Amino acid sequence: MLIRSIAKVRTILPYHCSFSIVLLLLIAFDCPSERSFAQGSTCDVVWDSTIQISQDSVLSIIPQIAVTGDTVHLLWFGFDTLGTITNDGILYSRSFNGGQSFSQQKVLSSADTVVNPGLIAAQQGYVYVVFSAVIDTFYGTAVTVSSDAGVNWTEVTPLRPNAFPRVIVAQDSNVYLHYYDQVTRSYGLVRSSDYGMTWSSNTTNTPPFTDVLPASDTLHAVGPVEGSFRKEVAYYFSTSFGRTWSFPEVLSQEDLAASLYPQLAADRRGKLYVAWNDTGSIVMRRSRNNGRSWIPEIKISQENKALFLDLAADNEFVTVVWESTLGGAAGIRLRSSNDFAASFCPIALPTTNTTATGPTLTIVNTQLHLVWSEEVNGHFEILYRRGTLIENPDIIERPPKAFALKQNYPNPFNGITRIRYDIPETTYVQLTIYNILGQAVSRLVNEVKLPGRYEALFSGSNFPTGVYFYQVRTTQFIETRKLVILR
C-alpha cells in the first residue's frame, strides 16, 4: 500500500458513485505522449508480456491487487451486461509464481448479493476481501477470508451494517477496515487482531481517509482536509491501533484548486510518499523521516488530464500510475523512479490500448505488478503485466540502525524461500526454523555476524505442508515470524 509484505488496497470511486459513472469512464481513445525529464535508462521498467486474467464476455472492472512474496492476488468486479453469464460479482484469481501464470477465475460472491466492487488485502498466507452486500435482511459490509493464500475461502459473513468499505489493510495478525456509515454519515475503523476471525470497533469517528498504511507500530493515513469544501490533502497518523488520530498536516497547497484522490506508499527505510490529483496533474510529496516532516511537492505528470491514480514503493523504487483522459481520449500512464523519487523516468505506456482504465499496482523488491481493465474483442477484461525495475548502482547500502527480521518471501512457498534480517552491530546470531510444536527442525545461521543486511535461504522440499516459525536470536534481540509451506 508498502514494502509489500504489508498489503494495502484503496477505494477507486467515492461511496456515492454509481456504475453509470464507471461506464462513462470506460469510453476511451488514444492521447499523445508528453515530454518529461529523464532519470536515465537504468530506471526503465523491463516488461513481461501482458496476461489476460478474466475470461468471460462480461464487463470486468475495478481491479484490485495484493502481493506477498511470490503470491499475487487479483480481485475485480464482473458485471453481467448480457444476463447470461454465471461468473459475475466479486471475482478472484491468484498466482503462486510471481505473476508468470494465474489460476482460473473464482467467484467469491455473485452479483445477486454484491452491491459494490470489493477490496482486497493480504499478509503472509491470509487474504481478506470485503465488499457491500445484501445477505437476507443484512445490508452493509461483508467479508470472506482465506488462510491458505486464496485456495479456500470462508463463507461470506456480515461484518458492519449500513457500511461501505473504503480501505482495507493488513499487517501481521492485524487487519484494519476503514468504512463509511450510510446512516450516520460518518467514517469509522474496525480492527481484527486475530487474522480476521473476530472484529471490534476501534472508532466510529475518523476523517474520510482515502488510503491507510500500517508500518511498525504506527498507522499512517491520507485524506481530504475536513471542512465545508474538502479541497486539500491531509496526512494523519495513529500510534493507538487507529483508536485516536493526530491533528491533520496539510500537504497540498492551500488554494482554490481542488486536490483529490491522495494515495500513500512507504519503502523499507521509513520514507513515505503521497501523490494526488491537483487540477488534472499528478503531484507528490515525500517524507524521509516517517512523516515527521515533508519535502516540497513535485509534479509527476506534465499534462492536465490525469484522473484516478495509484502509488507504490519498495527499496529505492517509487512508481506512480494514473488514468489519463486528454481531450476526451483515454489510456494509462506510468512513471517510475529508482532514487527514492528524487527524479523520475520518462512517462511509459504499459498498454497502447486507448480503452485502458482503472490501473492499480504494487512493488515487491524489484518486481512491479500492474493490473487494469481494457476492451478486448468488444468486452472489458482484466489484464495484468509484470515489470522488472532496474536497481540503482549509485544507491549505497549502509549498515542498518536497528535489529530486524523481515517476512520471508515467497510465502507460502513449496521450494526455496528467502529470509532477510538486519544486524546493526557485531554479535552472535542464530536463525532457526521451528515446527508448530515448537521443535527446532533446521538451523540456518549459528555464528558471529558483522553489521549488515543478510539473507538466508530455506528449502522446504523435505518438510510437509504446514505452518512453521523462524526466529532470529542474538544477545540483544529476539524476533519470530511465521512461514507456510504449501504444496
Chunked into runs of 10 residues, the chain (487 residues) has average pLDDT values of: 38 37 32 33 82 88 94 93 76 96 95 93 95 95 97 97 97 95 96 96 92 90 75 94 93 86 89 93 94 94 84 94 77 93 92 93 94 93 95 71 89 90 92 95 93 90 94 94 91
pLDDT for 378 equals: 87
- Looking only at Cα atoms, what is the longest distance across the chain? 66
Sorted by where each starts, the structural domains of the chain and their CATH numbers stand as 7-389 (2.130.10.10), 404-485 (2.60.40.1930)
- Are residues 294 and 287 in contact, defined by beta-carbon separation less than 8 angstroms? yes
Structure pTM? 0.76
Question: In this structure, what C-alpha cell is assigned to residue 65?
Answer: 491487487
88, three cell numbers: 459475475
Report pLDDT for 328. Answer: 63
Rounded to a whole number, what is the distance in angstroms from the first to the last CA of the chain? 28
Cα 140 to its chain centre, rounded Å, is 23
- Residue 21 CA to residue 388 CA, distance in Å, equals 34
Q: Are strands 249-250 and 233-238 parallel, antiparallel or unpaired?
A: antiparallel
CA distance 112 to 114: 6
What pLDDT was estimated at residue 2? 36
Q: What is the DSSP letter of 413?
A: B
Would strands 71-79 and 211-215 be described as parallel, antiparallel, or unpaired? unpaired
